[in-house]
Amino acid sequence: MKNILATLCATTAIASPAFAELLDVEKDELKFGFIKLTDMAPLAVAYENGYFEDEGLFVTLEAQANWKVLLDGVIGGELDGAHMLAGQPLAATIGYGTEAHIVTPFSMDLNGNGITVSNEIWEAMLPHVPKMEDGRPQHPISAETLLPVVEQYKDEGKPFNMGMVFPVSTHNYELRYWLAAGGLQPGYYSPEDISGQIGADVLLSVTPPPQMPATMEAGTIYGYAVGEPWNQQAVFKGIGVPVITDYQLWKNNPEKVFGLSAEFQEENPNTTIAITKALIRAAMWLDENDNANREAAVEMLSRSEYVGADYDVIANSMTGFFEFEKGDRRPAPDFNVFFRYNATYPFYSDAIWYLTQMRRWGQIAEAKPDSWYDEVAKSVYKPEIYLEAARHLVDEGLANEADFPWESDGYKAATPAEDIIDGVAYDGRTPNAYLDSLPIGLKGEQKVVGSDVQG
């Protein structure tokens, strides 16, 4: 197959700049996994627009049943790579859950998630929610408005249950962050108790993303944190109200990554660069000309082989808006970001934020020095691969030099307090100082012993 492509390349190089610097890929037939969420879009676009083929790659995309099956597929070699929760490569590499060294050369997006509550919970929250002059709720909505509702359930002896998609998911950490910022305890993990519900005011449990709306409608959970289109689905079905987006929670927060086993990357370095090139091109296409291609992307994603939700449900958040209640549709041009703001660059500081949340809630049971966070981030996030792919694209005339952070040391500037709902700034260079600044959660030498926090 590689020989056929090389011949084609020789005859079409002048006509097609995408073939100008075809890498000698070690493996050209690949299978990638994904979960049915809007933010798998770079994979769909790279496939549908021919960017993988431009790199000499013949790719099959395959939806996975859940995040664990997906991770096991990458570790076992059934999948060559996958759309992953950012916490998965980190957790696997440090041995939390399944142990394996996973790396990422490409971050798939910023933002894209929301927290939704059932109609019944929303009605109970509403008297506590500040209003704008036109009577609509004032956003962002703090979890302080949920606090009296949870207290009422406690008084009645009823557990308050909410769903998230996986223990090391962004959604778990974002839901916990929102709850804690409003004074609610989302619970701790310990080596002996991995439920994450030790000392919790709100009991969080795993529900696969596509099942979130039905699980809430059945009354098993009262709300959830999930990626699109499953918040907008609740609005369309009239069963729930998204109360906050993660953009409102933490402006331009990191989301999914593309993960590969370290073994695959080491054995297939050129293939890894070629994959990264195709994904960068897809991300550029998704954001170019002020999101001009988003309607075409929504059409792709609505197909059953990708996300499989209705076009209108996906478009509601993918095309620059977000609907909180029926008729309350507000501009949200950065709800889904795929390339702007260096969204695709795998920053060490993004990795470290996930690690701080694992430590905050007890998934990392013991205190670690700042140097440990830096070392783990650098073992998983691979900006050097990303920049090599970007350099090829610039040299081929397929990308602009100015669009990439060539001089970065891998750390973003600190996120200012005003960009995060609890008003606590985040600097990835000082993870322990950051943990110490958060009012709820483990800090210093603290650890969970039984049902108590000690230290």
Residue 99 and residue 154 in one domain: no
pLDDT computed for residue 8 by the predictor? 40
| Phi and psi at residue 427, to the nearest 5° | -125, 115
Tally Cβ neighbours within 10 Å of residue 28.
18
Is the distance from CB of 108 to CB of 255 less than 8 angstroms?
yes
Distance CA 416, CA 422 (A): 11
What are the CA-CA distances from residue 92 to residues 176, 357, 423 (Å)? 21, 15, 31
Sign, CA dihedral 416-417-418-421, equals: positive
Residues 81 and 152 in one domain: no
Asked if omega into 229 is within 30° of 0 (cis), the reply is yes
| Cα distances (angstroms) measured from residue 450 to each of 180, 322, 381 | 21, 42, 34
Domain total for the chain? 2
Within this chain, do residues 127 and 103 fall inside the same structural domain, yes or no?
Answer: no
* Structural domain contains residue 248: yes
Strand pairing report for 29-34 and 321-325: unpaired
Say if residue 135 is in the same domain as residue 247: yes
CB atoms within 10 A of CB 365: 17
Q: What is the pLDDT of residue 7?
A: 41
140 preceded by a cis bond (ω within 30 of 0): yes
Report pLDDT for 224. 98
* Residues written for the chain: 455
Please tell me the predicted confidence (pLDDT) of residue 16: 44
Query: What is the pLDDT, as a whole number, of residue 69?
Result: 96
> In the listed set 213, 231, 253, which residue is the last one of a domain according to the structure?
253
DSSP 296-358: HHHHHHTSTTTT-S-HHHHHHHHTSEEEEETTEEEE-TTSEESSGGGTTS--HHHHHHHHHHH
Contact 34, 210 (CB under 8 A): no
Q: Are 148 and 271 contained in the same domain? A: no
Q: Show the low-confidence residues of the chain (pLDDT under 50).
A: 1-20
Domain that holds residue 212: 113-253
Domain shared by 106 and 117, yes or no: no
CATH of the domain at 98: 3.40.190.10
pLDDT given for residue 15 in this prediction: 36
Examine the fold and report which residue of 234, 253, 272 is the final residue of a domain before the chain moves on: 253
Tell me the two tokens of residue 207. 């529900």
DSSP E strand stretches across 207-332: 223-227, 240-245, 257-261, 321-325, 328-331
Mean pLDDT of the chain: 94
Structure confidence at residue 9 (pLDDT): 42
pTM of the model: 0.94
* Beta carbons of 161 and 203 less than 8 angstroms apart: yes
- Per-residue model confidence as pLDDT tens digits over 166-186: 999 999 999 999 999 999 999
The secondary structure element, H or E, covering residue 97 is: none
